Homo-oligomer: A and B are copies of this chain.
Amino acid sequence: MAVNLPPPDPATLLPVPGVDLGVAMAGVRKANRKDLLVMRLAPGTAVAGVFTQNRFCAAPVVLAKKHLKNEVQALVVNTGNANAGTGDEGMRRAMQVCDALASHLGCAPEEILPFSTGVIMEQLPAERIVAALPHALLHQDDWASAAEAIMTTDTVPKAYSRKVRLSRGTAVVTGIAKGAGMIKPDMATMLGFIATDAQVPSRALQALLERVAERSFNCVTVDGDTSTNDSLILAATGRGPTASGRRDLLKLEVAIGEVARSLAQAIVRDGEGATKFITVAVEHGRDEAECKRVAYAIAHSPLVKTAFFASDPNLGRILAAIGNSGVRGLDTGKVDLYIDTVRVAHQGGRDPAYREEQGVAAMKKPEFTVRAVLHRGKASSTVWTCDLSFDYVKINAEYRT
């Protein structure tokens, strides 16, 4: 059901020197599916991370944030169980996984970052994960397998690569992500991992990741529900060229940003029940924050999203959503609204020249842009979202069965 999202071609996914991937079937929730990923990092790798703002953050998120301060040796990721809302016992079990992996690798458990995704408020079957670790460590898997091993309700694995020429050589950037529901990332999405072989100082890496997250994962929404487990990790192994100087860092940021935006958009294209991929652009606002607020008001309205699903240009719903966005002093009499290039509303009311067939034609496409022009400033913001279909309800009504 994913919108214009072919599965990644493994041949296009570039290995990242300094990153070893291993995948296993631990049977966390279902038998015979890849559900465990171990990502080993070469010594000296710089690691940056951004995490969910949900106050009920999961046990592994609490540990990963803490362990990020140490020299990270490996990441361990399971799907099938989020280990969130699990109290002290959840912390104990997340630590049990770190302990087991650390003893295999001969490092401290505090040098392991754990990640979990799946159902909330059920205890993690840590012993099954521990039992499957040797298999993951003995195998050398590729990024396509790694992307598969972290899927939940995703229908397509998500992985992208870029090459970027720096002053001292060419670096690679490869990333994977998962997530299809409970998607309105706040800092990051539910599990994204990006690696580069470039050498980047830790502090620069963290700042770069925060800027990238702000313009990629923090600009997508499926259902407005920020997950308990959102984590985005960026690792720079330093096995490739050094990013030296502002220009190199900027080029690297562009490449990492492209991978991150492709991953973030892939999550929306594969959003639960999605049949349309919609870009919501809000322009000529006073500042970026108010533009984003209006964009999210549109992208979160269930009435707007069901109209998208039906290809029904019931566009008054978009005006109503803009009116509800809570932007102070918004003059609705100045607002223009476009679907792709068709102006449907002018100065807050229906454009007299607009004919409904135009709206239907634009909205029938699997991808289109909703553009709201506020005419009160120079700022703009863009958010990507999907429609609300029968299948969203079906998937979430039947999620655990």
Contact = CB atoms under 8 A, between A and B. Distances in A.
A357 interface: no
A87 B350 contact: yes
Of A89, A314, A327, most B-chain CB atoms within 10 Å? A314
Contacts of A134: none
B397 A312 contact: yes
Contact of A120 (B57, B301, B316): B316
Contacts of A348: 56, 85, 87
Interface residues of A, number: 65
A349 B90 CA distance: 9
A207 to B, nearest CB: 25
A181 to B, nearest CB: 7
B307 A396 contact: yes
Interface in A336-370: 345, 347-350
A120 B320 contact: yes
B349 A88 contact: yes
Contact of A393 (B123, B306, B323, B347): B306
B301 A225 contact: yes
A26 B75 CA distance: 67
Interface stretch (A163-171, A240-248, A384-392): A384-392
A322 interface: yes
A121 interface: yes
A347 B87 contact: yes
Interface string A97-134: 00000000000000000000001111100000000000
A223 B379 CA distance: 30
A392 B390 CA distance: 9
Given A84-B316, A302-B225, A345-B121, A393 B392 contact: yes
A380 interface: no
A185 B309 CA distance: 25
A202 interface: no
A349 B124 CA distance: 13
A86 interface: yes
A396 to B, nearest CB: 4
30 contacts: A54-B323, A54-B324, A55-B322, A55-B324, A56-B320, A56-B332, A56-B348, A82-B316, A84-B316, A84-B319, A85-B319, A85-B350, A87-B350, A182-B303, A182-B320, A223-B302, A225-B301, A225-B317, A225-B320, A225-B321, A228-B316, A228-B319, A228-B320, A228-B323, A306-B392, A309-B397, A312-B400, A312-B401, A388-B393, A393-B393
